[in-house]
Amino acid sequence: MVVGSTIEMGARRPVILVVEDDENVLHLVSAYLEHEGYDVVQAGDGRIGLAEAERRPPDLLLVDIMLPGLSGLELARKLKASRNLPILMLTSKSEEQDVLAGFDAGADDYLTKPFSPKVLVARVRAVLHRAGLAPSMADDYFRQGDITLDVRSRQVVRSGREVDLTAGEFDLLHVLIEHPGWVYTREQLLEGMTSHSQAWAGDSRTIDVHVANLRKKVEEDPTDPQFIRTVRGVGYRLQGQRSASSRAPSKEGV
């Protein structure tokens, strides 16, 4: 069976509680997460979020810091005190003291607005993996065309033969193959690579080098790439097809 980036049928769908008072952000984030196979519970303020967490304990809390009723920091502290709940914080604040306050409240990761929903999905998956809550092999094994990528063994196979990739090349392919057809800027690719490997170091200027090297190893003709395509003025995408019913929402940023 070909496994994509969504969660396998039959596996328990992780529950994500999204607490956000901006309705547009709440609905967009929820749509992306539901597309990836997660069950999403929504709340528009902190007190409702606390009640929802008691009603249906989530596997991950995705929470904005600035909330009516009960702040995201207070909500995180209350839920972290009662259970070891992974927490990803969203905020428009990026000053150091705000970031530190989020981590002090128990946050496992932190995303500043505006952000790419693609990066958000990658961060959610990474936090769940670190918490040991990956529900199935759906997040660990990908196939596109004649290429397969196994996250656990960090193996890439093309047409039955293993491809020897550097750590940076593997992480780049991992980001691209999770969502065939999605267009990524260099900065989004860098963020995704960092989410997959906390030890990875680099900057957006190195993405072109990794792409060129990766093409030499996975393309039939690296001078005429058909697998990793350049989108002029934007970045890169992995050539792939998705049915109209499985496309994610088209808005690129929140």
From first to last of the 254 residues of the chain, give the pLDDT tens digit: 233 344 443 345 789 999 999 999 999 999 989 888 788 999 999 999 999 999 989 999 999 988 998 999 999 999 988 788 899 998 876 667 777 787 888 888 888 888 888 888 888 888 887 777 654 434 567 888 888 888 877 889 888 788 999 988 999 999 999 888 899 999 999 888 887 665 556 667 789 999 999 999 999 999 999 999 999 999 999 986 433 333 344 444 56
Q: Sign of torsion, CA 44 112 76 134?
A: positive
Crossing angle of helices 186-196 and 207-218, in 10° steps, is 80
Rg (CA), the chain: 19
CA distances from 47 to 53, 76, 140 (A): 10, 12, 36
Asked whether 93 and 65 are in contact (CB, 8 A), the reply is yes
Could you please state the CATH topology (level 3) that the domain comprising 140-244 is classified under: Arc Repressor Mutant, subunit A (1.10.10)
C-beta separation of 97 from 65 below 8 A: no
Domain range annotation of the chain: 15-130, 140-244
Class of domain 15-130: alpha beta
- How much is the pLDDT for 7? 42
Q: What is the pLDDT of residue 100?
A: 78
Q: What is the pLDDT of residue 201?
A: 61
238 vs 221: CA distance, rounded Å: 15
Check residue 95 and give its pLDDT: 66
Using the structure block, give the residue that is written with the tokens 């992995």.
238
Both tokens of 193, joined, read 């690579």
CA–CA separation, 250 and 116 (whole Å): 11
The predicted structure's pLDDT at residue 155: 87
